[in-house]
Amino acid sequence: MTDISATQIHDTLVLPYLNHAVRMFEQSYASRGDIDAAMRFGCGYPRGPLTTLDELGLDVVRDGLAARYAETGDNLHKPADLLEKLVAEGRTGKASGRGFYTYADGEVIADDQTPSADDKPQLKHDIKTVGVVGTGTMASGIVQVFAAAGYDVVFVGRGDDKVEGVITGISRGLDKLIERGKSDEDTKNAILGRLTGATSREALADVDIVVEAIAEDLELKLELFRDFDRIIKAGAILATTTSSLPITQLAAATSRPESVIGMHFFNPATVMKLVEVVTAPATAADVNETTLALCAKVGKVAVSCADRSGFIVNALLFPYLNDACLLAESGVALDVINDAIKETAGFPMGPFQLLDVVGNDVSLAIQKELFAEFKEPGFAPAASLEKVVADGHLGRKTKKGFHDYS
């Protein structure tokens, strides 16, 4: 096995991730606050990447990346132009008082990029009834989130058994909360009383927003959005939970692309705080603002971005996981990598533990999408990731992935 220190593992895997985040901010794809919030609430990281850069020192990270770039020649390791610019200006992070954020006495203070209270999104549409299409884990969680926040929810499944399964699953989940003293019977009954299950999409005719949460299959989703166009009342918001498919194409399937938006919940939706709110080119400003405000009303942290492969979280997370696979291929033990990352970066899981939780097939599919979108040679899926998928070792769900769970 290759002899390597925890610090070297950190620099090999974490510095390119930080560089990707700088480029995302540099391109005005998302705000600094949204990039940081996305990784904190979507991945459970102790700090977002831009805050981490300020903590480590932009000059230190720049020098580490420059050394890596000299060794690999990989464009992904070349320090982002904005990183070079800030270092040249003396904005090297927390220690200097300015980096991506502004500091006084070691604490972040407001500056010209800090959102004002007046910027808080408002509901521009009257939202009373929410529709959800789908009966899987994600759909069920979304149904519960809205009902728990006081909204009437109409959800549609392919059969009575599927519809009943959603209600049974939510009921069991609420019973567990009651057992732990985190809820009570009155709250449970109120939530269940707001649910209306149906097997016909026609039941969605009068909803104010519909959230699509069916399988990640473009043709199925396109057919559904065409049906939304036929069924759902004018002015309603048409949202998709897709994490990988082009929202712009779904919008084009309707006669009202201005009403279509991405609402990417993280699984499990009842627990995870993050929702990526994704605008397509035609999405109306009032639809975007209403969706952001609605997320806040149901207790979620919403971040804004545009329709691009990976959005914020997947575009930053999966190249890092892919890099971990490449590092392991060089002879570094999986557990050594896992332990080093948890120790040095404070991430809740090592990369191979996380890959096995997400599913190696899902991870490979996302990495392929990122490679196709950004055309970066360094985004090419690692051979070891392709192999575990080819071998059927998909992670915890098959009892074997990079680790054995049998």
Q: Are residues 278 and 171 in the same domain?
A: yes
What letter represents residue 49's amino acid? P
Are residues 366 and 318 in contact, defined by beta-carbon separation less than 8 angstroms?
A: yes
Pair of tokens at residue 65:
């990346």
Condensed to tens digits (0 to 9), the pLDDT of residues 65-86 reads 999 999 999 999 999 999 999 9
**What's the average model confidence in pLDDT over 232-238?**
98
Q: Are residues 103 and 153 in the same domain?
A: no
**CATH number of the domain within which 146 lies:** 3.40.50.720
Q: Are residues 141 and 169 in the same domain?
A: yes
C-alpha–C-alpha distance, residues 339 and 333, integer Å: 10
Q: How far is CA 297 from CA 46, 146, 147, 196, in A?
A: 24, 9, 12, 21
Residue 54 inside a domain? The answer is: yes
Q: What's the predicted TM-score (pTM) here?
A: 0.96
Condensed to tens digits (0 to 9), the pLDDT of residues 360-375 reads 999 999 999 999 999 9
Of 113, 110, 167, the C-alpha closest to 135 is: 167
From the list 314, 322, 338, 363, the catalytic residue is 314
Confidence of residue 118 (pLDDT cuts 50, 70, 90): confident
Last residue of a domain, one of 279, 306, 333: 306
Residue 119 inside a domain? The answer is: no
Sign of CA dihedral 382, 383, 384, 389: positive
**What's the average model confidence in pLDDT over 261-274?**
96
Confidence of residue 1 (pLDDT cuts 50, 70, 90): low
Q: Are residues 298 and 313 in the same domain?
A: no
Are residues 156 and 203 in contact, defined by beta-carbon separation less than 8 angstroms?
A: yes
* Start-to-end C-alpha separation, the chain: 25
Last residue of a domain, one of 306, 340, 363: 306
Burial of 149 (0-12, 13-18, 19+ CB in 10 A): middle
pLDDT at 52 over 80: yes
Residue 154 inside a domain? The answer is: yes
Are residues 389 and 361 in contact, defined by beta-carbon separation less than 8 angstroms?
A: yes
What local confidence, expressed as pLDDT, does residue 55 receive? 98
Catalytic site includes residue 338? no
Are residues 36 and 47 in contact, defined by beta-carbon separation less than 8 angstroms?
A: yes
C-alpha–C-alpha distance, residues 285 and 291, integer Å: 10
Burial of 1 (0-12, 13-18, 19+ CB in 10 A): exposed
> What is the span of the domain harbouring residue 25?
1-114+309-406
Residue 198 inside a domain? The answer is: yes
Q: Are residues 288 and 398 in the same domain?
A: no
Q: Are residues 34 and 105 in the same domain?
A: yes
C-alpha–C-alpha distance, residues 185 and 193, integer Å: 12
Residue 124 inside a domain? The answer is: no
Percent of the chain with pLDDT strictly greater than 90:
98
What are the beta bridge partners of residue 239?
211, 261
pLDDT at 160 over 60: yes
What local confidence, expressed as pLDDT, does residue 360 receive? 97
Condensed to tens digits (0 to 9), the pLDDT of residues 339-398 reads 999 999 999 999 999 999 999 999 999 999 999 999 999 999 999 999 999 999 999 999
Residue 214 inside a domain? The answer is: yes
Q: Are residues 287 and 154 in the same domain?
A: yes
* DSSP letter string, 50-111: HHHHHHH-HHHHHHHHHHHHHHH--GGGSPPHHHHHHHHTT--BGGGTBSSSEEETTEEE--
From the list 259, 264, 288, 384, the catalytic residue is 264
Last residue of a domain, one of 306, 322, 353: 306
Residue 331 has phi, psi (to 5 degrees) of 115, 5
Per DSSP, helices labelled H in 5-57 are 6-26, 32-43, 49-56
Burial of 191 (0-12, 13-18, 19+ CB in 10 A): buried
Pair of tokens at residue 96:
């200097």
Q: Are residues 339 and 227 in the same domain?
A: no
C-alpha–C-alpha distance, residues 336 and 293, integer Å: 43
Q: Are residues 289 and 269 in the same domain?
A: yes
Q: Are residues 144 and 278 in the same domain?
A: yes
Q: Are residues 107 and 134 in the same domain?
A: no
Q: Which helix (H) or strand (E) holds 380?
A: none
What local confidence, expressed as pLDDT, does residue 82 receive? 98
According to DSSP, the β-strands at 209-212 and 129-133 are: parallel
Residue 368 inside a domain? The answer is: yes
Catalytic site includes residue 259? no
Q: Are residues 256 and 357 in the same domain?
A: no
Compute how many other C-beta atoms are within 10 angstroms of the C-beta atom of residue 23.
16
Burial of 266 (0-12, 13-18, 19+ CB in 10 A): buried
**CATH number of the domain within which 47 lies:** 1.10.1040.50
Catalytic site includes residue 10? no
pLDDT at 298 over 80: yes
Catalytic site includes residue 28? no
**What is the distance, to the nearest Å, from the Cα of residue 338 to the centroid of all Cα atoms in its chain?**
22
In the numeric block, the tokens 């899926």 are attached to 381
**What's the average model confidence in pLDDT over 299-306?**
98
What letter represents residue 258's amino acid? E
From the list 20, 212, 276, 338, the catalytic residue is 276
How many structural domains are present in the chain? 2
Pair of tokens at residue 401:
């992935």
pLDDT at 47 over 80: yes
Residue 121 inside a domain? The answer is: no
